[in-house]
């Protein structure tokens, strides 16, 4: 078979045959060419270095454009998730209080090294007072009572039956189940049944109990809430925190009751719910005779927890604080009902005005 003119040597030629008795049409040959293989495979050309650099450059440009657009959305989602978790945790404590028929609440642990921030929360319960067993009422002796100020002093407490094993700073002492109540500021063991205490009266009454000899008097100790493993701790999402500097109760004298008075303060914030579901009490900083006192108080106004950015505590690089960042959220607890809601941050001239606006805003339902 003759080769078609101008056909490459590496091409095969197939003829298209005409029906019998008819001449074969000219130019109807089929030519199939095969490219010679190369040492690297099929001979198909790959991307050049220039093409690869162009693709990489385009990806870098797209990344630089997309990331700034997505970052605010991711921050907003993280903030909402943090507020949602705080909302659900408070509601969980409220449900447990109603179930257990005793005060249960949330312990807000101050962050080590940055005590204005709270990133870990715990469920706690308030234990019943000691010394209430009517069949065998324990008695207490008081000696060496020494008033130091109009509201505080020291005393040696003797427990004939042995000192309570879980006595701790912050507990309250009352004699004869009535009358004045003293807070225990310091507790120093002397013997198995003696404790030397610094006491502070919490209302009307003498700075320390009077000297009480044998046989002593009945007493009871109101114990501060203890950390107990009632539920798993809550750790807030990264880069978020409850900013206690701008959290507090209402818009009056307790507006900054959650703010630490010093940079070394480690006293937690405790929000306790009663068996009826309302807010039983709050442990926070109050003012007594012009001095800050960490003690149990009754909340009559809404409790505001500012869920904000950790890098804005106490102040961000742009000199803005968390109450000035409209991307943050309030978690608000109504003390009369114990209901918890999440409210968006509103623009105001100060944090108190922002709270007033939040109080009138609609709830986000914990979202």
Write out the two tokens for 147.
Answer: 């008033």
pLDDT value at residue 39: 54
Query: Which among 329, 354, 327, 328 is positioned nearest to 341, based on CA atoms?
Result: 329
Task: Average the pLDDT over 280-288 and give the result.
Answer: 87
CA atoms within 13 Å, Cβ hemisphere of 4 = 16
**Position 261 pLDDT exceeds 70:** yes
272 by Cβ neighbours in 10 Å (0-12 / 13-18 / 19+) ranks as buried
Task: Average the pLDDT over 168-175 and give the result.
Answer: 88
Find the range with the poorest average confidence among 65-79, 113-127, 181-195, 253-267: 65-79
pLDDT tens per residue across span 306-338: 999 999 999 998 999 999 999 999 999 999 999
* For the chain, percent of residues with pLDDT exceeding 70: 80
Task: Average the pLDDT over 143-163 and give the result.
Answer: 88
- Asked if residues 362 and 356 have their Cβ atoms less than 8 Å apart, the reply is no
Q: How far apart are CA 250 and CA 359, in angstroms?
A: 9
Task: Average the pLDDT over 252-279 and give the result.
Answer: 93
Write out the two tokens for 264.
Answer: 């070394």
**Position 96 pLDDT exceeds 90:** yes
Whose structure tokens read 């320390």?
Answer: 208
**Position 51 pLDDT exceeds 70:** yes
Task: Average the pLDDT over 128-144 and give the result.
Answer: 69
Residue 132 binned pLDDT confidence (cut-offs 50, 70, 90): very low
Q: How far apart are CA 204 and CA 83, in angstroms?
A: 40
Per-residue b/e over 326-348, b at no fewer than 16 CB within 10 Å?
Answer: eebbbbbbbbeebbbbbbbbbee
pLDDT value at residue 133: 43
pLDDT value at residue 194: 93
Its pTM stands at: 0.69
* For the chain, percent of residues with pLDDT exceeding 90: 45
- Asked if residues 105 and 280 have their Cβ atoms less than 8 Å apart, the reply is yes
- The domain segmentation of the chain, as residue ranges, is 68-126+229-360, 139-224
Find the range with the poorest average confidence among 129-133, 165-169, 333-337: 129-133
More confident residue, 43 or 101: 101
- DSSP 3-state of 52: helix
- Asked if residues 255 and 263 have their Cβ atoms less than 8 Å apart, the reply is no
pLDDT value at residue 144: 85
Write out the two tokens for 259.
Answer: 């703010």
Give the helix ranges, DSSP H, for the chain.
49-100, 351-360
Residue 76 binned pLDDT confidence (cut-offs 50, 70, 90): confident
CATH code of domain 68-126+229-360: 3.55.40.10
pLDDT value at residue 79: 94
pLDDT tens per residue across span 12-34: 555 555 555 555 555 555 545 55
Task: Average the pLDDT over 277-298 and give the result.
Answer: 85
**Domain 139-224 class in CATH:** mainly beta
pLDDT value at residue 35: 54
pLDDT, averaged across the chain? 83
């Amino acid at each position: 078979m003759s080769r078609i003119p101008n056909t490459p040597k590496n091409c095969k030629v197939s003829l298209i045959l005409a029906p019998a008795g008819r001449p074969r049409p000219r130019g109807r040959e089929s030519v199939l060419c095969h490219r010679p293989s190369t040492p690297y495979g099929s001979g198909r050309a790959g991307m050049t270095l220039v093409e690869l650099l162009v693709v990489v450059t385009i990806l870098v440009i797209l990344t630089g454009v997309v990331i700034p657009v997505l970052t605010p959305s991711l921050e907003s989602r993280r903030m909402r998730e943090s507020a949602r978790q705080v909302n659900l945790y408070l509601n969980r404590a409220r449900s447990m209080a109603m179930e257990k028929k005793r005060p249960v609440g949330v312990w807000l642990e101050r962050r080590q090294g940055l005590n204005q921030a709270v990133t870990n929360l715990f469920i706690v319960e308030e234990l019943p007072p000691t010394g209430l067993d009517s069949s065998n009422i324990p008695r207490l002796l008081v000696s060496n009572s020494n008033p130091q100020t109009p509201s505080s002093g020291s005393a040696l407490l003797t427990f004939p039956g042995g000192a309570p094993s879980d006595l701790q700073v912050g507990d309250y002492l009352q004699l004869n189940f009535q009358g004045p109540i003293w807070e225990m500021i310091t507790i120093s063991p002397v013997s198995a049944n003696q404790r030397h205490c610094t006491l502070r009266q919490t209302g009307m009454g003498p700075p320390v109990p009077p000297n009480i000899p044998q046989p002593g008097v009945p007493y009871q100790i109101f114990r501060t809430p203890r950390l107990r493993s009632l539920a798993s701790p809550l750790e807030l999402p990264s880069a978020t925190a409850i900013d206690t500097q701008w959290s507090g109760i209402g818009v009056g004298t307790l507006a900054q009751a959650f703010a630490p008075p010093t940079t070394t303060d480690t006293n937690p914030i405790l929000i306790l719910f009663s068996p009826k579901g309302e807010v039983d009490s709050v442990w926070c900083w109050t003012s007594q005779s012009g001095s800050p006192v960490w003690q149990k108080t009754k909340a009559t106004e809404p409790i505001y927890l500012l869920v904000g950015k950790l890098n804005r505590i106490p102040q961000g690089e742009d000199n803005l604080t968390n109450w000035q960042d409209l991307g943050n959220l309030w978690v608000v607890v109504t003390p009369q009902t114990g209901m918890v809601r999440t409210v968006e941050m509103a623009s105001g001239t100060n944090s108190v005005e922002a709270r007033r606006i939040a109080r009138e805003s609609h709830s986000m339902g914990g979202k």
